[in-house]
Amino acid sequence: MARPYYGWIVVAGAFAVLFVAYGVQYSFGVFFAALLAEFGWRRAGLAGAFSLYAFAYCLFGFPAGRLTDRWGPRAVITAGGVLLGGALVGMAFVTALWQPYLLYGLVAALGMGTAYVPCNSTVVKWFVARRGLAVGLASSGASVGTFALPPLAQLLVGALGWRGAYLVFGVGVLVALALVALVMRRDPESMGLAPDGVPAAPARGGHPAAAPATEPARAAVPGSAADPAPAATAARAVEEWTLARAVRTRAFWLLAATFTATWIPVFIPLVHLVQWMRDLGYAPIAAASAISALGAGAVLGRLVMGFLSDRWGRRATLALAMGLQMVAFTGFATVRQLPLLYGAAALFGYAYGAVSALFPAIVGDFFGRARAGTLVGVLFALAGSMGGWGPLIAGGVYDATGTYTPAFLFGAALNVTALALLSRCRPPEAPRARAE
């Protein structure tokens, strides 16, 4: 029986996967403080494990995207749950600095690579007219997890020690992702359905089938001639973009450069904020709650900005998010009072959540649905992997100067660079409009 609502079940499944995976990922700042306290490692040394993780999991997004296009998200996410959960269980037994590099930096990264790209690219395939809203809803799972799990990690560390907390998190990840993966389906066509916004064409036997691949155009937002409405853009990028064609376009490399600039510093607060606030004299639970404030802001950013991007255009909404992220980094560099620190964290989360949600949506707008997993994966590998440098740079800056201020100002400057690059991004000419 046809289930035209199933796209929203896929959104709910993606929400749950990202809730678990990102909630655990951004609890690293809690474990970071506990590991430093026990082993006395230098901050740059331990932050390097997360930097390797951030680099590798973004890099692994490329094969994860290709495998999702080929096998579907169910098998890919299940395998990722086994790898990520197993790595966290292994972290409960570390005794030397090289072990977090292996377990967290490589094995956990391989598992995490099966979360962001497979979930978001699958949602892109299920939606056209409300793509920004759907991706925003799905990706808000990451932000809710960021809000909920770091304080839980701090409570578990207090009650069970950091080793016991890692065991609980590892087993929970393995079980949760294996169960949620069961509801994920590759695309609506595999169920005899059409994506949201494309009317179903009648098929033999009276069962609905997906209409042809062309995605319907909507009127452009007034005053946005240079930034067509998302569905109109999607109509131009039908189903004909292969990776080989996409990488020959200026649009592909401008998108890669734009997201590289905004993502290089993005992990700095997520890794160092808890320890920095403890340096300022705040209690461990108060410091961990700053990550919750960041997560709460990110929920709003993903939902509100995803919704608005369907109306304002993806580029305009992205530009606003990058501007807000620049302001948040400036706030981290200048404020010291607890309410203002929470405010800067919430603003950063709002902007970071919006940028993360709009990334797969704008890739789908520019290059179509058919190979969304591959193209999102490649761009995420190119741009997202550069985020691995941020925590390492910030740790080195602190070890050398005793302050994170230069690192935060570096993050603000990179978002100004991203804004300049974004102003040059335009959808590519559809491949069928050129001579083959």
Does 305 reside within a domain?
A: yes
Above 80 in pLDDT, residue 200? Answer: no
Distances (CA, A) of 6 to 74, 194, 303: 15, 10, 20
Asked if the structure places residue 243 within a domain, the reply is: yes
In a domain, 423, yes or no: yes
Report the domain count for the chain. Answer: 1
Q: Is the pLDDT of residue 62 over 90?
A: no
Which of 244, 262, 226 has its CA nearest to residue 383? 262
Torsion over CA: 374, 375, 379, 384 (sign): negative
- With 70 as the cut, is the pLDDT of residue 88 above it? yes
pLDDT, residue 298, reads 85
Q: Is residue 13 in some structural domain?
A: yes
Whether 1 is covered by a domain: the verdict is no
More confident residue, 203 or 25: 25
Residue 404 has pLDDT above 70, yes or no: yes
Task: State residue 325's pLDDT score.
Answer: 97
pLDDT at 179: 92
| pLDDT beyond 80 at 76 | yes
219 pLDDT band (50/70/90 cuts)? very low
Residue 345 located in a structural domain: yes
Whether 317 is in a domain gets the answer: yes
149 is in which domain, residue-wise?
Answer: 6-191+225-430
Q: Within a domain: residue 347?
A: yes
Evaluate if residue 199 carries a pLDDT over 80: no
Q: What is the pLDDT of residue 367?
A: 86
What CATH code is carried by the domain that includes residue 345?
A: 1.20.1250.20
Q: Kindly tell me if the per-residue pLDDT of 218 is higher than 80.
A: no
Percent of the chain past pLDDT 90, that is, above it, reads 36
